[in-house]
């Protein structure tokens, strides 16, 4: 079954002047979004202050338009939301470039000091739910379908409490179906063992700073198996993913070897990244070192932050893009089938990222030319980095244009929206105005968000797929898609909301088509194993496809 859902252009986008440039405009000032990410920073430099990043783009009311959810902090050291300034916020998309704050009605203002968010329809009821990670509370917010959410964390058994460590400091979460049973499972990255009463006093040149992660012990991550009855079973240990302690930041999912089972990449902070290969029997094997994604090309554990796991070069094999801190460069691992190859230097990404510290990131085709580009939200870890290390605390974001075998830094020519230096953290990607171009929402410490409306290359064509699973999970998460546009090489992508760091992106799958007006074939391999092929699909539409 397929139907054309929507193809509208209601937001005013600035047309790109040149097809080789991106064009982003920040509509936040006129959007009525008043949210300010409040980290409650203190002179004592509690580590949590610098890590908060969560933002989600998801359609909570099923009106076909992406809404925005922001995660917020709390008072320190009490870790309590003492007033509206600490509330998480949900903004409904009014389809005209403005948003309405529906937090109170939706009952999503949250608990404790938040960190990240993951959106997906875990109970297959047709409404996307939220899982919010945090320092002292994680929350599963079930979407009731009537504009409200219910906190079902305890009943579901996903409070994020470890038998040995208690409530762990969770950073990111992601939904995926690791056993292809049609029910979305939940992965939660945990960072370090942290207690506000025992925050170390870290100084550089006698100036108080946030501490290196080396000063804290790492934690294992959680994997919760969805039982299908509203509850989850903690499968961390039996699956193998909970046997290793790391310093988990971003998590991203893809089937790297095409065996039909989704694998997991976890970016760790100053610790080797984890790559959990899905053995297909409910267990995972960590093979990050062996497949070449644990370290960078120089054998260094970088300060891994965000991650996207997506096919950037349309060879049918998902690649991995990770952000790190200044002097790390942001690793780009190309999937060669069995192993990954670090192409950071050869692709030009190293030179473009050497002086940046990146947080959330994504691999998307921002100019609809058929090649996926790279985006990273940047900002120093230290709010006093100028004083401490003569590096600016606020940094502009980065957009790298895919030019085939390499990437070019197009940030300075990509519009005002890409020029603002801030302490950026989270970033979520999705088509907010349904015009076929991927927009970006970023959050920055103690500032309003940026809502970057993409006006790049309006003459290029596009296709967005909104999948609905039947035997597979209803969001179609994990479905792999191959399209063959008329006159252009095939392209590949898959359904995921786990993109970047602590953030959650549009679950619809976007393709830029360049000049192609028709897609000869759209092939969907659903997580259930069902293969679906659509023929002669016209471009420039959001196509709803239901699993047969």
- Any contact of residue 44 with other proteins (CB under 8 A)? no
Among residues 392, 396, 362, the alpha carbon closest in space to that of 380 is found at 392
> Of 507, 498, 523, which is closest to residue 263 (Cα–Cα)?
498
> What is the sign of the dihedral through the CA atoms of 85, 86, 90 and 96?
positive
Binding segment for other proteins among 55-63, 95-103, 296-304, 486-494 (CB under 8 A)?
A: 296-304
Q: How far is the CB of 388 from other proteins (least distance, A)?
A: 7
- Residue 131 or 210 with smaller CB distance to other proteins: 210
Our finding on whether 295 is near other proteins (CB under 8 A) is yes
Q: Does 245 bind other proteins (CB under 8 A)?
A: no
Q: Which residue in the set 11, 58, 169, 210 belongs to the binding site for other proteins (CB under 8 A)?
A: 210
Of the candidates 153, 206, 182, 183, the one whose C-alpha atom is nearest the C-alpha of residue 388 is: 206
State which of residues 12, 85, 96, 298 lies at the interface with other proteins (CB under 8 A).
298
Which residue from 94, 181, 257, 297 is in contact with other proteins, where contact means CB under 8 A?
297
Binding to other proteins (CB under 8 A): which residues in 360-379? none
CB 376 within 8 A of CB 397: yes
Assess contact for 296 and 329: CB atoms under 8 A.
yes
- Check residue 470 for interaction with other proteins (CB under 8 A): no
- State the number of binding residues for other proteins (CB under 8 A): 51
Cα–Cα distance between 375 and 246 in angstroms, integer? 25
Residue closest to 249 by CA, chosen among 498, 79, 548, 530: 498
CA-to-CA distance for 303 and 212, rounded, in angstroms?
Answer: 10
Q: How far, in Å, CA of 473 to CA of 452, rounded?
A: 30
Cβ-based neighbour number of residue 273 at 10 Å: 28
Binding mask 190-209 for other proteins (x = CB under 8 A): ------------x-xx---x
For the CA atoms of 313, 314, 318, 319, what is the dihedral angle to 10 degrees? 0
- Cβ closest to other proteins, residue 17 vs residue 351: 351
Q: Interface with other proteins includes 389 (CB under 8 A)?
A: yes
Does residue 292 interact with other proteins by CB under 8 A? yes
| The two structure tokens encoding residue 419 | 């020029």
Closer residue to other proteins, CB minimum distance, 227 or 327: 327
Residue 384's contacts (CB-CB under 8 Å, 6 or more residues apart) are 207, 208, 209, 393
Q: Is 314 left (phi over 0), alpha (psi -120 to 50) or beta?
A: left
Shortest distance, CB of residue 447 to other proteins, whole angstroms?
23
Q: Which of 6, 20, 36, 391 forms a contact with other proteins (CB under 8 A)?
A: 391
What is d(CA 487, CA 504) in angstroms, rounded to the nearest whole number?
33
Q: Which stretch binds other proteins (CB under 8 A): 125-133, 178-186, 326-334, 420-428?
A: 326-334
Q: Does 341 bind other proteins (CB under 8 A)?
A: yes
**Minimum distance, C-beta of residue 222 to other proteins, in the bound complex (Å):** 23
Query: Quick one: 203 or 517, whose CB is closer to other proteins?
Result: 203
The binder of other proteins chosen from 118, 120, 291, 393 (CB under 8 A): 291
C-alpha 483/C-alpha 498 separation (Å) is: 22
336 touching other proteins, by CB under 8 A: yes
Residue 351 touches other proteins, criterion: CB under 8 A: yes
- Cα distances (angstroms) measured from residue 200 to each of 211, 380, 383: 7, 20, 17
Point out which span in 31-39, 128-136, 334-342, 433-441 binds other proteins (CB under 8 A): 334-342
Residue 350 in contact with other proteins, rule: CB under 8 A: yes
> 67 vs 328, which CB is nearer to other proteins?
328
Contact 188, 140 (CB under 8 A): no
Binds other proteins by CB under 8 A, chosen from 85, 290, 459, 536: 290
Residue 301 lies near other proteins (rule: CB under 8 A):
yes
Q: How far apart are CA 426 and CA 56, in angstroms?
A: 9
CB of 358 vs other proteins, minimal distance in Å: 13
486 is a site residue for other proteins (CB under 8 A): no
The set of residues, in sequence order, having a beta carbon less than 8 Å from that of 154 and lying 6+ positions away, is none
Is residue 376 exposed (0-12), middle (13-18) or buried (19+ Cβ within 10 Å)? Answer: buried
Dist CA 382 CA 125 (whole Å): 42
Instruction: Considering the complex, state which of residue 336 and residue 515 has its C-beta at the smaller distance from other proteins.
Output: 336
Closest approach of Cβ 356 to other proteins, in Å?
Answer: 12
385 binds other proteins (CB under 8 A): yes
Of the candidate spans 127-135, 184-192, 226-234, 387-395, the one that interacts with other proteins by CB under 8 A turns out to be 387-395
Q: Is 346 in the site for other proteins (CB under 8 A)?
A: yes
Residue 404 interacts with other proteins (CB under 8 A): yes or no = no
Q: For every residue of 479-541, which 3-state class applies, written as one string? A: CEEEEEECCCCCEEEECCCECECCEECCCCEEEEEECCCEEEEEEEECCCCCEEEEEEEECCE
Interface residue with other proteins, options 19, 345, 486, 521 (CB under 8 A): 345
Q: Name which of residues 256 to 275 contact other proteins (CB under 8 A).
A: 270-272
Which segment (59-67, 149-157, 276-284, 382-390) binds other proteins by CB under 8 A? 382-390
Question: Rounded distance, CA 3 to CA 489, Å?
Answer: 25
Residues forming the site for other proteins (CB under 8 A): 202, 204-205, 209-214, 270-272, 287, 289-292, 294-295, 297-303, 324-328, 336, 338-339, 341, 345-348, 350-351, 354-355, 381-382, 385, 388-391, 406
């Amino acid at each position: 079954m397929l139907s054309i859902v929507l193809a509208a252009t209601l937001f005013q986008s600035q047309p790109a002047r040149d097809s080789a440039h991106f064009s982003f405009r920040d509509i936040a000032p006129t959007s009525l979004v008043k949210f300010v990410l409040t980290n409650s920073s203190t002179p004592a430099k509690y580590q949590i202050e610098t890590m908060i990043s969560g933002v989600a783009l998801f359609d909570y009311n099923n009106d076909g338009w992406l809404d925005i959810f922001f995660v917020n902090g709390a008072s320190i050291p009490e870790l309590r939301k003492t007033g509206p300034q600490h509330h998480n916020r949900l903004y409904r998309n009014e389809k005209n470039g403005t948003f309405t704050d529906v937090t109170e009605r939706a009952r999503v203002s949250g608990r404790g000091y938040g960190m990240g968010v993951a959106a997906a329809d875990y109970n297959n009821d047709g409404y996307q739910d939220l899982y919010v990670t945090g320092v002292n509370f994680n929350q599963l917010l079930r979407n009731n379908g009537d504009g409200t959410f219910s906190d079902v964390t305890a009943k579901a058994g996903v409070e994020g409490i470890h038998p040995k460590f208690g409530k762990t400091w969770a950073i990111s979460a992601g939904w995926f179906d690791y056993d292809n049973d049609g029910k979305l499972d939940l992965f939660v990255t945990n960072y370090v063992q942290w207690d506000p009463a025992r925050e170390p006093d870290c100084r550089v040149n006698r100036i108080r700073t946030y501490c290196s992660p080396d000063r804290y012990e790492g934690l294992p991550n959680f994997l919760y198996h969805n039982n299908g009855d509203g509850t989850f079973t903690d499968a961390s240990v039996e699956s193998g993913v909970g046997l290793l302690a790391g310093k988990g930041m971003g998590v991203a999912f893809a089937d790297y070897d095409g065996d039909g089972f989704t694998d997991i990449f976890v970016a760790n902070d100053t610790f080797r990244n984890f790559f959990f290969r899905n053995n297909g029997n409910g267990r995972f094997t960590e093979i990050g070192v062996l497949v070449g994604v644990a370290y960078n090309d120089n054998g260094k554990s970088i300060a891994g932050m965000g991650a996207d796991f997506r096919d950037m070069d349309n060879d049918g094999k998902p690649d991995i893009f990770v952000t790190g801190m200044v002097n790390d460069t942001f690793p780009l691992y190309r999937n060669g089938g069995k192993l990954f190859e670090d192409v950071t230097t050869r692709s030009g990404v190293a030179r473009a990222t050497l002086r940046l510290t990146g947080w959330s990131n994504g691999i998307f085709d921002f100019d609809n030319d058929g090649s996926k580009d790279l985006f990273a939200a940047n900002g120093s870890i230290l709010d006093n980095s100028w004083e401490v290390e003569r590096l600016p605390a606020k940094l502009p974001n980065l957009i790298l244009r895919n030019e085939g075998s390499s990437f070019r830094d197009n940030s300075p020519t990509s519009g005002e929206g890409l020029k603002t230096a801030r302490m950026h953290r989270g970033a979520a990607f999705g088509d907010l105005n349904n015009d076929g171009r991927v927009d970006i929402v970023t959050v920055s410490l103690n500032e309003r968000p940026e809502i970057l409306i993409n006006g790049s290359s309006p003459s290029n064509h596009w296709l967005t797929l909104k999948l609905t699973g039947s035997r597979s999970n209803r969001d179609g998460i994990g479905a792999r898609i191959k399209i063959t546009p008329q006159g252009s090489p095939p392209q590949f992508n898959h359904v995921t909301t786990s993109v970047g760091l602590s953030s959650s992106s549009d679950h619809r799958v976007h393709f830029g088509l360049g000049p192609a007006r028709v897609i000869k074939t759209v092939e969907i391999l659903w997580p259930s194993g069902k293969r679906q092929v659509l023929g002669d699909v016209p471009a420039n539409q959001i196509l709803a496809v239901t699993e047969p």
